[in-house]
A = this chain, B = another copy of it.
Amino acid sequence: MILNVDLAADVPIYQQIRDQVVEAIAHGALTEGSSLPPIRTLAADFGINFHTVNKAYDLLRQEGLIRLSRKTGAVVTAAAADQLIPSDWTARARTLLAEAVARGIPADEVLQACRTLLDSFGTTRQEDTQ
């Protein structure tokens, strides 16, 4: 699990941590039962305050992606199978896809870019650790 934070980016640090954990779960780099580092450890590694890491973990807990407890720390939960796509996700996707189309990028290119990204998530799972 390699995380990076960019203190100068316009994305908040706690959001960057949250996003990278989400991507690691999608890639299969983090699976059910995987442990995340203790908040104080991760904060020390990044040279940031532990409250910032705590905020990122708390957000992931609210989203149901990890569970938190004393001593066992932060553990990735099982993804419930056959989930429905939440309407707020669709709304955010609509805005993001519209942005590309409004800029003049052909719809089929946008869809291909999505396909490529989704394909990249399937390539780092247990069976084919490359």
Q: How far is the CB of A25 from chain B (nearest CB, A)?
A: 4
Is A2 in the interface zone, CB < 8 Å from B? Answer: no
Q: How far is the CB of A113 from chain B (nearest CB, A)?
A: 6
Interface size in chain A (residues, C-beta < 8 A): 44
Contact yes or no, B97 A117, CB < 8 A: yes
Is A79 in the interface zone, CB < 8 Å from B? Answer: yes
- Stretch from A34-42, A48-56, A104-112 that touches the partner: A104-112
**A99 CA to B85 CA in the complex, in Å?**
10
Is A44 in the interface zone, CB < 8 Å from B? Answer: no
From 72 to 128 in chain A, residues with beta carbon under 8 angstroms from any chain B beta carbon are 79-85, 89-90, 92-105, 107, 109-111, 113-115, 117-119, 121-122
| Chain A residues in the interface with B (C-beta under 8 A) | 19, 22-23, 25-27, 63-65, 79-85, 89-90, 92-105, 107, 109-111, 113-115, 117-119, 121-122
**A-B pairs with beta carbons under 8 Å apart, 15 shown:** A23-B98, A25-B102, A26-B97, A26-B98, A64-B103, A65-B102, A79-B102, A79-B104, A80-B103, A81-B104, A84-B105, A85-B113, A89-B99, A94-B117, A98-B121
